[in-house]
Amino acid sequence: MDVGDGKWLDRDCGPVVRPYALTGGRTEPATGEVLDLIAVVVAARGADRRTGRAGLTPESRKIMALCGQPVTVADVASDTGLPLGVVRVLLADLLVQGRISVVRQRAAGERPGADLLEEVLDGLRAL
């Protein structure tokens, strides 16, 4: 195939990087602890002063910017446009590095309360 024929180029999409390239081929966090969709994460106090942003990938920098205020894992995935599995791995890496902390996560096996389910239903009805 000739590189100049334009079949593999799409100027609107920009450069394409496979998700596994962003996580070093990992599909699960190195710690083994998978963050729940509604887990709330936030940048650790003084993380920028202690560690700076050096050594972070552009995706991790964007995640850190989003974590300036408490945000759910699902919202991070949505706002970055990255697959949820990739976001979970990157968040786990940032957690191990001490750059973010988990504010709230459901305990394993804990079911959501009726109030949360009502909020979800109300949101779905609003669509």
Per-residue pLDDT tens over the stretch 55-111: 788 889 999 999 999 999 999 999 998 888 889 999 999 998 889 988 876 665 667
The residue-averaged pLDDT of 26-45 equals: 80
What ranges do the domains of the chain cover? 14-108
16 CB contacts (<8 Å, ≥6 apart)? none
> In this predicted structure, what is the pLDDT of residue 120?
78
> In this predicted structure, what is the pLDDT of residue 30?
72
CATH assignment, 14-108: 1.10.10
CA distance 100 to 47: 8
> In this predicted structure, what is the pLDDT of residue 71?
92
**Could you identify the residue written with the tokens 């963050």?**
35
What is the value of pTM for the model shown?
0.66
Write out 59-100 in H/E/C secondary structure.
HHHHHHHHCCCCEEHHHHHHHHCCCHHHHHHHHHHHHHCCCE
- Is the model's pLDDT at 1 over the cut of 50? no
> In this predicted structure, what is the pLDDT of residue 13?
60
> Strand pairing partners for 104?
40
